[in-house]
Amino acid sequence: MDKYKPIDCELHDKLEDAAVRRVPVEIQLDTGTINGTVVDVKTVASKEFLVLKEQAEPIRLDRVLAVTDTAEKE
């Protein structure tokens, strides 16, 4: 993938909050939508990643377009 682009602070805060609360979320990526539970937001080699309970590979944060707390929808 090309050069990492830092994400908006508000989106980062939403992801951090979801990680702390361990709530199910819907995540809109640049390639589609996935559902999962955020367990961590981490930095590796100056790039930030989202770790989901249901995913083996972390997701680069600059691929995340939006996040919705699905627990609030219920």
Q: What are the tokens at 18? A: 């979801």
pLDDT of res. 2: 81
Assessment of whether the complete model's pTM goes beyond 0.75:
yes
Helix, strand, or coil here: 61?
helix
Domain ranges of the chain: 9-69
pLDDT of res. 9: 92
Asked if 58 and 48 count as a contact pair (C-beta separation under 8 A), the reply is no
CATH number of 9-69: 2.30.30.100
pLDDT beyond 80 at 74: no
pLDDT tens column, 50-59: 999 998 999 9
pLDDT tens column, 12-64: 999 999 999 998 999 999 999 999 999 999 999 999 999 999 989 999 999 99
Asked if 38 and 22 count as a contact pair (C-beta separation under 8 A), the reply is yes
Q: Where are the alpha helices (DSSP H) in the chain?
A: 9-21
Give the number of other CB atoms < 10 A from CB of residue 63.
16
